Amino acid sequence: MTIPKIFVSSELAATFVCEACGNCSTRDVSKFIRHKAKVQLKYKCKCGHIFSVILERRRGIRKEVNFKGVLTQNRKQFPGVITDLSHNGIQFKTLEKALIKEESMAEVKFTLDNPNRSEVRKRIRIRKAFSEYSLGCEFEDTDHFDDLGKYFLFYFSQKK
Ligand SMILES: [Zn+2]
Q: Supply the DSSP string of 36-55, one letter for each residue.
A: -S-EEEEEE-TTS-EEEEEE
d(CA 93, CA 127): 14
Q: Residue 118 pLDDT more than 50?
A: yes
**Ligand 1 centroid to residue 33 C-alpha, Å:** 25
pTM (2 d.p.): 0.62
Q: Are 124 and 137 in contact (CB under 8 A)?
A: yes
In this prediction, residues 82-90 reach a mean pLDDT of: 90
The secondary structure of residue 8, as a DSSP letter, is B
Query: 123: CA distance to ligand 1 center in Å?
Result: 41
Tell me the domain boundaries of the chain. Answer: 5-56, 62-155
Work out the average pLDDT over 73-80: 95
d(CA 135, CA 92): 5
Q: Which CATH architecture has domain 62-155?
A: Beta Barrel (2.40)
CA of 108 to the centre of ligand 1 (A): 44
Ligand 1 centroid distance, CA of 53 (Å): 14
Task: Return the pLDDT at 34.
Answer: 74
Could you tell me which of 63, 98, 93 has the C-alpha nearest to residue 80?
A: 93
Q: In the predicted model, is pLDDT for residue 158 greater than 60? A: no
| Structure confidence at residue 1 (pLDDT) | 65
Cα of 60 from ligand 1 centre, angstroms: 24
Task: Tell me: pLDDT of 159 over 80.
Answer: no
From ligand 1's centre to the CA of 26, what distance in Å? 13
CA of 42 to the centre of ligand 1 (A): 13
Q: How far is the CA of 51 from the centre of ligand 1 (A)?
A: 9
- Measured from the Cβ of residue 41, the count of other Cβ atoms closer than 10 Å reads 16
Cα 97 to middle of ligand 1, angstroms: 53
